Amino acid sequence: MCQPVRVQGAECRPGPSPTARALRLEGIRARDGAALDSLLDALADPPWDAEVAPDDEVLPLLRARGFDEYARAVVMARPLEGLAPAPAAPGVRIGPYLNEWADSYAVGEAAAMAAHPFFAHMGPPTGYEGSEGFDAAIAARAEDRVVGFAQAQLPEGWINWLWVHPDHRRTGVATALVWEVANAVREARGTHLAALVPTQSDGAALLAKLGFRRRTERVLLLRRPDDAA
């Protein structure tokens, strides 16, 4: 757990951002603009990343201090119970990810995530190319290439990263990856699956089809370094 930073009337917990190459200001709260200014003064230099609810009172204060919105996202979740088993698509093998596939991984991820707002602000490399054994790290492979990938936290079932190469989409690869994640979560005695996905996205469409329900909405903001153009 990251140590909180507190000043009079404001606080946050700085830590690594899961979606941008920046210091994530987790749980940021400020009574007013002056308190927020003191908090920001107490932190290491930007880039800073924040994730807040659309109706959070801190949102306009952040915008006024140069935090730009880079994505609207929604938390989607469902219980494990009732999720239908999904076989891999023909010619695709689903199994634990191995770091020795990192080069192939990087090629697939770049093609799959090119238009994804989290990826645009984050990578490459995202670090997932080295995620062998990191909770549930699952690969989909075809002809010795990584064509799909999912990584999730255990036992929470929080899906951090999920992609399928454009050439292999709409053949059930992501559905099979989510099923494999679900098996790992079940083994770890978890009960749910959840993910943060851009509001209007392929990911949101996929998860809706798999029975995930929309929960809280989030606004993702980035404050660039002071010397950035």
Ligand X SMILES: CC(C)(COP(=O)(O)OP(=O)(O)OC[C@H]1O[C@@H](n2cnc3c(N)ncnc32)[C@H](O)[C@@H]1OP(=O)(O)O)[C@@H](O)C(=O)NCCC(=O)NCCS
Classify burial at 8, counting beta carbons within 10 Å of its beta carbon; exposed 0-12, middle 13-18, buried 19 or more.
exposed
Assess 172 for contact with ligand X (CB under 6 A): yes
Please, which residue, 65 or 169, has the CB nearer to ligand X?
A: 169
Judged by CB under 6 A, the number of residues near ligand X is: 20
Site for ligand X in 71-110 (CB under 6 A): none
Interaction mask 189-208, ligand X, x per CB under 6 A? --------x---xxx-xx--
Residue 19 Cα to chain centre, angstroms: 6
Assess 174 for contact with ligand X (CB under 6 A): yes
Residue 15 Cα to chain centre, angstroms: 14
- Provide the minimum distance between the beta carbon of 13 and ligand X in the complex, in angstroms, as a whole number: 23
- Provide the minimum distance between the beta carbon of 98 and ligand X in the complex, in angstroms, as a whole number: 20
User: Running DSSP on this structure, what letter comes out for residue 131?
Assistant: -
- Provide the minimum distance between the beta carbon of 39 and ligand X in the complex, in angstroms, as a whole number: 30
Cα distances from 26 to residues 8, 23, 104, 164, 175, in angstroms, run 17, 9, 33, 29, 31
Place of tokens 């099979």: 176
Assess 112 for contact with ligand X (CB under 6 A): yes
Within 10 angstroms of residue 20's Cβ, the number of other Cβ atoms is 25
Please list, in sequence order, all residues whose beta carbon lies within 8 angstroms of the beta carbon of residue 190, skipping any fewer than 6 positions away: 80, 154, 155, 156, 157
Assess 163 for contact with ligand X (CB under 6 A): yes
Assess 131 for contact with ligand X (CB under 6 A): no
Site for ligand X in 143-162 (CB under 6 A): 162
The residue ranges that bind ligand X (CB under 6 A) are 112-113, 116, 162-164, 169-175, 197, 201-203, 205-206, 209
